[in-house]
Amino acid sequence: MNSDATPTHQPNQLEQLKVCTTVVADTGDFESIRSYAPQDATTNPTLIYKAVQMDAYGSLLEKAAAMAEAEGNHGSQLVESVIDHLLVLFGQEILRIIPGRVSTEVDARLSFDPEATIDKARHIISLYNRQGIERDRVLIKIASTWEGLEAARVLEKEGIHCNLTLLFSLVQAASAARNKATLISPFVGRILDWYVDHTGGTYEADEDPGVQSVTQIFHYLKHHGFPTEVMGASFRNIGQIRALAGCDLLTISPELLEDLKASREPLERQLSIEKAKTDPIPLMEIDEKTFRWHLNADPMATDKLADGIRRFAADTDKLSDLIEKEIID
């Protein structure tokens, strides 16, 4: 054996995953994003609320407040304007680090108001444009209610790209694809949570109901040739991630990105367009009545959609309270 031979580099699982899937960082922490070099990044009210309490990001809150006050806002309008500017400032900083897109969420409290959702999305895009950021680098996150899906249909026609979030069922995914949404975010971990809570069971990756749901959604969209991208989200363990290798995108927390980075076990592609084409999944004909019926018939999707909206709305309320305390008082 030649002792001078250069050892072969064995890629870690994060490197292997990036070969077949676009990796997205699910965090508002800039240093974590730098560490894992993802293509895209996504934020939500929970992540922004946590990040803004860190000393490193206090300057962004101050800057957002100054920008909102300069517009002449007062009271509740000032708080709302500060949040909008804060979301965009976080997004702007993230876009300095990543080569791809950032997802910025519309207030979850607008989830059943399509007109207000459209207005808020347009406003967020206008704030990005003021910072010199093109709309192609921004995805507007909207909850996958019927109203949110209809808002996305209008926005996509205007060239405002949407990420349909809080997505737990095939009917939501099929509706988003029909409405030409750029991207959907089916939630893996929250689906698993519901089944564990309601059955008391444990699930290996191949039996995981969250993994099965995303696989079904991926197969449906690819089988029927929809261009909407599928981004698995809300992971509880790296087994779920490995089971969805090959999905268009996966948005992953820093903790699980570190777990992937620490492992050098082989990681194989599980999802592909070729496999999807062989899955004889029928095309769904969807209008508002059939959408609401299918969603109502799925207790998990109904529960988790409502719960997700409540949680994001609660964190937006917490962020509002923090701004009132730090800025207005």
Question: Which positions are catalytic?
Answer: 141
- Host H or E run for residue 16: helix 13-20
Query: Identity (one letter) of the amino acid at 86?
Result: L
Write the CB contacts of 62 (distance below 8 Å, at least 6 apart in sequence): none
CA-based Rg of the chain, rounded to a whole angstrom?
Answer: 20
Q: Strand 249-252 relative to strand 162-167: parallel, antiparallel, unpaired? A: unpaired
**89: phi then psi, degrees, rounded to nearest 5:** -65, -40
Amino acid identity for residue 287 in this structure: D
What does the alpha-carbon distance between residue 64 and residue 51 come to, in Å, rounded to a whole number? 14
C-alpha span between 130 and 53 (Å, rounded): 26
Which of 176, 76, 110, 80 lies closest to 309 in space, CA to CA?
110
Q: Are 267 and 245 in contact (CB under 8 A)?
A: yes
Tokens of 325: 């305390």
